[in-house]
Amino acid sequence: MVIVVFIPLFALTGVEGKMFGPMATTFIMALASALLLSFTLVPALAASFLSGKPRKTKPFLMNAVEGIFKPCLEMALRFKKIVLVFGLSSIFTGIFLFSRMGSEFIPQLDEGDFAIQFIRPANISLDVSMELQKISEKVIKEFPQVKDVFARTGSAEVATDPMGVNISDSYVMLHPKQQWPKDSLIADKKTLIKAIKAKLEMGVPGQVLMVSQPVELRFNELLEGTRADISAKVFGDDLDKLIEYSNEIARIISGIEGAGEVESESKGKSPMLQYTPKLGELAQFGVTARPVLDAINTAIGGREVGHIYSGVKSFPILTRLSEEQRTNVTTVRKLPVGIAESYTVPIEQVADIEFVDTFSSVSRENSQRRVAVLINPDVRDVESFVVKAQNLVAEKLTLAEGYYIEWGGSFKNLQSAKESLRILVPLALLIIIAMLYAAFRKISQVILIFACAPMALIGGVVSLKLMGMPFSISAGVGFIALCGISILNGVVLVSYFNRLVSENISVEDVIRKGTMTRLRPVLMTALTDIFGFLPMMYSTGLGAEVQKPLATVVVGGIISATVLTLFVLPSIYALFKLAPLIADETL
């Protein structure tokens, strides 16, 4: 049954599928191997090494547990209806608390180091951008916790992600925590980032800082095309309007508590040399605009005219104007253009050449122009933050016809994954119900056993609350696993109850004897699962952030499911047996 609940996880796609698919495979292979060995190797080992003489006395610990549990069970059987109401209340409380929980896609991994993206004015030159970068790196290196800083400014000659010279990705490598100064006020990475940001904003103005992590920065861009955890993408035709809307959205979101870093992706316009051919003059000379374009291309971009050889090495020879002349519009206008053989005219005679302020790059998605608002919130509850931001933006900003906002980043991934879980979780539950009915052939008993799953919900939700964690896809996978694990206790109890009923024992005696007899297997099943997941729950190594929600849900859910199952399930079973119409109901 536990194997079956993991099968729907293979239907997950995207990041969550890549992350939890291997985990599901490992669980299924491990459980299948254990099932095979339990029917082959274990009986052989038992026959070889066990004496076959059972101990007549119970262990001290088990006697103590039974001494505490027996009067509690008697009390539960005396007030069966009250216990039933308590069990239903626990289920509805769990559902209510779950509906009030915040959500995030996947807990943020602590990569150890961090990255700072510097966004400078779009019209900045490469030299000035590099100078600002050197000053910024010098400021960062003043902190003794920093081991090294290196950066990338702009894009490479052949780049897969276009980035202007006004943007620098800086990667800050930190010393191991043990080597940090003991007398410093900076005790953790979060405090260090705040201190570095404050010093950079004060000492190096004229640039915007976006803090992320090296791998996270690249993943955000690969998944959504933006380098932030959340993005509000404004789509439309007019770039000026898009920038206006994005700046207004950034201003509105900045006022929300926990907004963190909010910045419009566009940094304005930059000067660009614009060429407009004079079609009338070109027609008089009987030529196209091609000669003019070739002249400008040679002067600005350069043209290969030959090679210099040094041994077996070849070096191209390029001709173009000097850097100073390339930025001089007057010089460009005087360039000669070959109209005919041995006949040239200045470019200004056949074309208008001028510098205009325009956009250095235009981002598009699905063939539509867009400008994104980059958001790195300080809160973990991404869903509640985005819902609040959506409502506030809709209230304070009215978009023109043809313009719309699309929220992306981890929020979009969260919504996509939750849609998948809305299908996968009911599917897993239906499979469990089908297996229970195939085993017990009574709807009443199937419902009784299946009730153990929602009993586990309250424990999983409360444990997440106590650990300060919102709902995430990791927690969702934990709830799926919990469904299979928690129902096992119900199967153990009900199957033994049915066995005792066939021996013509009264219902009350069946409940007492069956529950006390199966107390040890139920507790052993619960404790082995709890102790198995506790290391994940309290782990602190790399990747622990993803494991914790899953383990927290399973541990908390098993505790509540075990306690409620041992008291609520026997009471409900007694009520079913006392009502023959319900107890004898079959499909």
Quote the pLDDT of residue 584: 44
- What's the average model confidence in pLDDT over 473-497? 84
Contact criterion met (CB below 8 Å) for 337 and 350 = yes
> What is the per-residue pLDDT across 520-538, written as a single tens digit (0 to 9) for each?
888 888 888 888 888 888 8
What DSSP letter does each residue of 514-583 carry, written as one string?
HHHHTHHHHHHHHHHHHHHHHHHHT--STTHHHHHHHHHHHHHHHHHHHHHHHHHHHHHHHHHHHSHHHH
- What's the average model confidence in pLDDT over 276-282? 85
Whether the pLDDT of residue 585 is over 50: the answer is: no
d(CA 257, CA 253): 9
Quote the pLDDT of residue 267: 64
Quote the pLDDT of residue 498: 81
Contact criterion met (CB below 8 Å) for 471 and 37 = no
Among the listed residues 543, 381, 340, 571, the one whose alpha carbon sits nearest the alpha carbon of residue 471: 381
> What is the per-residue pLDDT across 44-92, written as a single tens digit (0 to 9) for each?
888 888 776 776 677 778 888 888 888 888 888 888 888 888 888 988 8
Residue 355 has φ and ψ, to the nearest 5°, of: -90, 130
What's the CATH number for 58-100+441-583?
Answer: 1.20.1640.10
Whether the pLDDT of residue 468 is over 80: the answer is: yes
Quote the pLDDT of residue 576: 66
B/e letters for 532-551, b = 16+ CB within 10 Å, e = fewer, are ebeebbeeeeeebbbbbbbb
- What's the average model confidence in pLDDT over 115-130? 83
> What is the per-residue pLDDT across 440-463, written as a single tens digit (0 to 9) for each?
888 888 888 888 888 888 889 999
pLDDT band of residue 225 (cuts 50, 70, 90) is low
- Distances, alpha carbon 464 to alpha carbons 386, 554, 557, in Å: 21, 10, 10
Whether the pLDDT of residue 336 is over 50: the answer is: yes
Contact criterion met (CB below 8 Å) for 82 and 572 = no
What are the structure tokens assigned to 303, written together? 């043209």
Among the listed residues 260, 268, 269, 243, the one whose alpha carbon sits nearest the alpha carbon of residue 373: 243
- What's the average model confidence in pLDDT over 409-437? 82
d(CA 570, CA 508): 9
Going by CATH, does the domain composed of 271-358 fall within 3.30.2090.10? yes
d(CA 100, CA 94): 10
CA dihedral 422, 424, 427, 431 (to 10 degrees): -140
Query: How do strand 364-365 and strand 368-376 relate by DSSP bridges?
Result: antiparallel
Distance from chain centroid for Cα 248: 27
Quote the pLDDT of residue 160: 58
d(CA 362, CA 369): 7
To which H or E segment does residue 40 belong?
none
> What is the per-residue pLDDT across 155-192, written as a single tens digit (0 to 9) for each?
765 455 667 788 888 899 998 888 888 877 888 888 89
Whether the pLDDT of residue 14 is over 80: the answer is: no
Query: How do strand 230-236 and strand 364-365 relate by DSSP bridges?
Result: unpaired
To which H or E segment does residue 309 belong?
strand 303-310
Among the listed residues 281, 534, 260, the one whose alpha carbon sits nearest the alpha carbon of residue 376: 260
Residue 361, beta-bridge partner list: none
pLDDT band of residue 1 (cuts 50, 70, 90) is low
Q: What angle do CA 73, 76, 79 make, to 5 degrees?
A: 155
C-alpha radius of gyration, the chain, whole number: 34
Quote the pLDDT of residue 578: 38
What are the structure tokens assigned to 514, written together? 């069956």
Quote the pLDDT of residue 157: 54
Domain boundaries, the chain: 1-54, 58-100+441-583, 112-212, 271-358
Looking at per-residue confidence, does 136 or 365 come out higher?
Answer: 136
- DSSP E strands: which ranges in 41-182? 114-119, 146-153, 167-174
d(CA 194, CA 191): 5
3-state DSSP assignment of residue 337: strand
d(CA 150, CA 153): 10
**Domain spanning 112-212: CATH superfamily:** Multidrug efflux transporter AcrB pore domain (3.30.70.1430)
pTM: 0.74
Among the listed residues 353, 317, 323, the one whose alpha carbon sits nearest the alpha carbon of residue 335: 353
Whether the pLDDT of residue 97 is over 80: the answer is: yes
Looking at per-residue confidence, does 270 or 293 come out higher?
Answer: 293
Among the listed residues 377, 391, 580, 562, the one whose alpha carbon sits nearest the alpha carbon of residue 487: 562
Query: Helix H segments across 397-518?
Result: 410-440, 443-450, 452-466, 473-501, 507-517
Whether the pLDDT of residue 583 is over 60: the answer is: no
d(CA 378, CA 385): 10
**Secondary structure letter of residue 471 according to DSSP:** B
